[in-house]
């Protein structure tokens, strides 16, 4: 039965571009292992398709947010080990130990729990110690490390295989970040006297592009894989955009001068205006915050200003200057003519929230 309505709005994803950007990340750090970060559904691109495309591409781990995402990877037959970036909940840990997923610890309680579970199943469970060098989100404090290390060494079934931290200000504060690298280096050296640390990592995309961390041997690029460099770098020009967001015109109407458009009537036509109604709204992830901020869409070769506020399922644009527009015509919202960085700037937010805000209602269409 083929009674499906044509999509009102959708996302085209280029898996090839993501794989290419991973190669760029590799060029930027040739002697470092990589953990592609594919949490939050690979930043809106789709967890399983992205993982399958990058799987076995000579990478150490896939960075995921939680046990649920790790489970989805194993169900999809992905071979690369998931690395759960955030803290784990007690009820998730048995599954984590049984599957040998990699987890971080920030407290001795977590370590003891993993140790008990691993003993129960007669396994050695590998963990990475998180160290809080400034982010304030997880990890042991540097001053605790000496004591904590002694306790961890006494645990029979947990082995510290790595140490990680995370920069809070790599894209904003260079001197702070440089001090933080020195602190992280001290922490790693202290721990290296007690453990054989196979992995040492602190950098996400901005850290990878902007700094050298000689003690690290693993990096965790996220945004970079999706074609955006969070700091200016020589690799900018090499990155390829990974997605397009499109919709379709649903109506074209002539409004007289003095007519309001959308909620709150924040836009009033100043002259007779041809207005296209377009099938996408904030429920799809087109940010309501771009309302009245000069956002534009691209229709049949022309930029068209968006008019008034974004509504839940629809937006309006001025198409008076476009010679031919009719219902069904494609509309580019993010793509070759409208970079995602422009949309984030108009919404006064960061690119990460635009990627991860692309909603489940948008079908993802893949090209390899
Ligand atoms: C999300 C995340 C990353 C990836 O960050 P990007 O800035 O997108 O590269 C890396 N590490 C941790 C711990 C994260 O939470």
Q: What is the pLDDT of residues 227-256, one digit of tens each?
A: 999 999 899 899 999 999 999 999 999 999
- Strands of the sheet containing 33-34, edge to edge, are 33-34, 218-219, 199-201, 158-164, 125-130, 102-105, 81-84, 61-64
Q: Respond yes or no: is residue 121 known to be catalytic.
A: no
Question: Average pLDDT over the chain, rounded to whole?
Answer: 97
How far apart are the CA of 223 and the centre of ligand 1, in A? 8
What integer pLDDT is reported at residue 4 of this predicted model? 66
Least confident stretch, 44-58, 61-75, 298-312 = 44-58
User: Does residue 217 register a pLDDT over 80?
Assistant: yes
- Pocket lining: 221 vs ligand 1, CB cutoff 6 Å: yes
Q: Respond yes or no: is residue 39 known to be catalytic.
A: yes
Alpha-carbon distances, residue 193 vs 146, 186, 188, 196, 216 (angstroms): 10, 11, 9, 8, 16
Tokens encoding 132: 């809080």
Give me the mean pLDDT over the 53-67 stretch: 93
What integer pLDDT is reported at residue 6 of this predicted model? 72
What's the CA gap between 141 and 85, in Å, rounded? 17
**Three-class SS of the chain:** CCCCCCCCEEEEEEHHHHHHHHHHHHHHCCCCEECCECHHHHHCCCHHHHHHHHCCCCCCEEEECCHHHHHHHHHCCCCCEEEECCCCCHHHHHHHHHHCCEEEECCHHHHHHHHHHHHHCCCCEEEEEEECCCCCCCCECHHHHHHHHHHHHCCCCEEEEEEECCCCCCCCCHHHHHHHHHHHHHHHHHHHCCCCCCEEECCCHHHHHHCCCCCCCEECCCHHHHCCCCCCCCCHHHCCCCEEEEEEEEEEEEECCCCEECHHHCEECCCCEEEEEECCCHHHCCCHHHCCCCCEEEECCEEEEEECCCCCCCEEEECCCCCCCCCCCEEEEECCCCCHHHHHHHCCCCHHHHHHHCCCCCCEEEEC
What's the CA gap between 48 and 363, in Å, rounded? 14
Return the percentage of the chain with pLDDT > 70, whole number: 99
Of the pLDDT bands very low, low, confident and very high (cuts 50, 70, 90), residue 368 is: confident
- Pocket lining: 166 vs ligand 1, CB cutoff 6 Å: yes
Buried b or exposed e, range 214-246, using 16+ CB within 10 angstroms? ebbbbbbbbbbbbbbbbbebebeeebebbbbbb
What integer pLDDT is reported at residue 7 of this predicted model? 87
pLDDT digits (tens, 9 = 90+) for 96-110: 999 999 999 999 999
Of the pLDDT bands very low, low, confident and very high (cuts 50, 70, 90), residue 1 is: very low
Give me the mean pLDDT over the 47-67 stretch: 95
pLDDT digits (tens, 9 = 90+) for 115-139: 999 999 999 999 999 999 999 999 9
Residue among 85, 128, 169, 203 to mutate when testing ligand 1 (max atoms within 8 A of CB): 85
Return the percentage of the chain with pLDDT > 90, whole number: 96
How far apart are the CA of 42 and the centre of ligand 1, in A? 11
What integer pLDDT is reported at residue 3 of this predicted model? 55
pLDDT digits (tens, 9 = 90+) for 304-320: 999 999 999 999 999 99
User: Does residue 57 register a pLDDT over 80?
Assistant: no
Give me the mean pLDDT over the 269-277 stretch: 98
What's the CA gap between 20 and 5, in Å, rounded? 34
What's the CA gap between 318 and 256, in Å, rounded? 13
The Cβ of residue 28 has, within 10 Å, a number of other Cβ atoms equal to 20
Q: Which ligand 1 atom lies nearest to the CA of residue 166?
A: 13
Residue among 33, 37, 64 to mutate when testing ligand 1 (max atoms within 8 A of CB): 37
Interaxial angle between packed helices 145-153 and 108-120, expressed in degrees from 0 to 180 and rounded to the nearest 10: 10
Q: Which ligand 1 atom lies nearest to the CA of residue 37?
A: 4
Whether the Cβ atoms of residue 209 and residue 32 lie closer than 8 Å to each other: no
Give me the mean pLDDT over the 248-268 stretch: 98
């Amino acid at each position: 039965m083929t009674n499906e309505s044509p999509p009102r709005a959708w996302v085209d994803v280029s898996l090839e571009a993501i794989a290419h950007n991973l190669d760029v990340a590799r060029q930027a750090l040739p002697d470092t292992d990589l953990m592609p970060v594919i949490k939050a559904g690979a930043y809106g691109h789709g967890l399983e398709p992205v993982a399958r495309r990058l799987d076995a591409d000579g990478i150490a781990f896939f960075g995921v947010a939680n046990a649920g995402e790790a489970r989805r990877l194993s169900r999809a037959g992905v071979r690369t080990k998931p690395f759960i970036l955030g803290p784990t909940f007690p009820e998730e840990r048995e599954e984590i130990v049984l599957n040998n997923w990699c987890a971080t610890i920030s407290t001795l309680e977590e370590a003891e729990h993993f140790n008990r579970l691993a003993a129960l199943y007669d396994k050695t469970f590998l963990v990475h110690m998180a160290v809080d060098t400034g982010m304030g989100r997880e990890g042991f404090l540097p001053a605790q490390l000496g004591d904590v290390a002694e306790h961890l060494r006494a645990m029979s079934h947990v082995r510290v295989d790595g140490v990680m931290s995370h920069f809070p200000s790599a894209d904003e504060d260079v001197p702070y970040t440089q001090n933080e690298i020195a602190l992280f280096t001290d922490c790693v050296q202290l721990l290296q006297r007690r453990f054989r640390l196979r992995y040492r990592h602190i950098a996400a995309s901005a850290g990878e592009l902007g700094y050298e961390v000689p003690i690290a041997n693993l990096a965790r690029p996220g945004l970079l894989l999706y074609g955006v460099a969070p700091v200016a770098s020589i690799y900018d020009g090499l990155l390829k955009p990974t997605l397009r967001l499109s919709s379709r015109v649903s109506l074209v109407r002539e409004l007289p001068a003095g007519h309001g458009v959308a909620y709150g009537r924040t836009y009033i036509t100043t002259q007779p205006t041809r207005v296209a109604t377009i099938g996408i709204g904030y429920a799809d992830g087109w940010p309501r915050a771009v309302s009245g901020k000069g956002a534009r869409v691209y229709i049949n070769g022309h930029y068209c200003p968006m008019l008034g506020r974004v509504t839940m399922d629809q937006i309006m644009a001025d198409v008076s200057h476009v010679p031919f527009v009719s219902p069904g015509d494609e509309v580019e919202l993010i793509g070759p003519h409208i970079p995602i960085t422009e949309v984030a700037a108009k919404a006064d937010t960061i690119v990460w929230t635009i990627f991860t805000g692309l909603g489940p209602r948008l079908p993802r269409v893949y090209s390899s």
